[in-house]
Amino acid sequence: MLYCPLCYERVHTVRYNGAVEGATTCFQCEQCGYRYALPWGRTWAQPVHPWAALNEQEARQSTASRDRTADPLLLGTETPGQETSQVRCERCGARRASFYQLQTRSADEPMTTFYRCLECGNQWRE
């Protein structure tokens, strides 16, 4: 089974009405709409994983580009829609930090909150 890289729901194979990147069969997530077209010339007999690199060099390039673009946080600024809190940073003492929450333990325990100081970039969790 393959899972969506965005929302982690199972993806399904669908026929696409118009050719996308030379393909007529796609993987599609019904939850968020993510779609991946099977590359032209690939067959179902060949192993296919849409969000994995085809070789080691491609994996390194993909990771390097993600590292450059994945974190839009600019220190000292707030971006629209960014969750912020007035918790105190232990490194610099500032009281502005962005945060997000994840369920890292069992469902009956509280969520873990991850913080990042908007002044110095220090990261911590509670």
Taking CA atoms, 4 is separated from 33, 98, 121, 122, in Å, by 9, 26, 30, 31
Answer yes or no: is 26 a known binding residue: no
Answer yes or no: is 32 a known binding residue: yes
64, 18, 21, 69: which is closest to 42 by C-alpha?
A: 21
CB 125 within 8 A of CB 113: yes
Residues at the binding site are 4, 7, 29, 32, 89, 92, 117, 120
Residues at the binding site for Zn(2+) are 4, 7, 29, 32, 89, 92, 117, 120
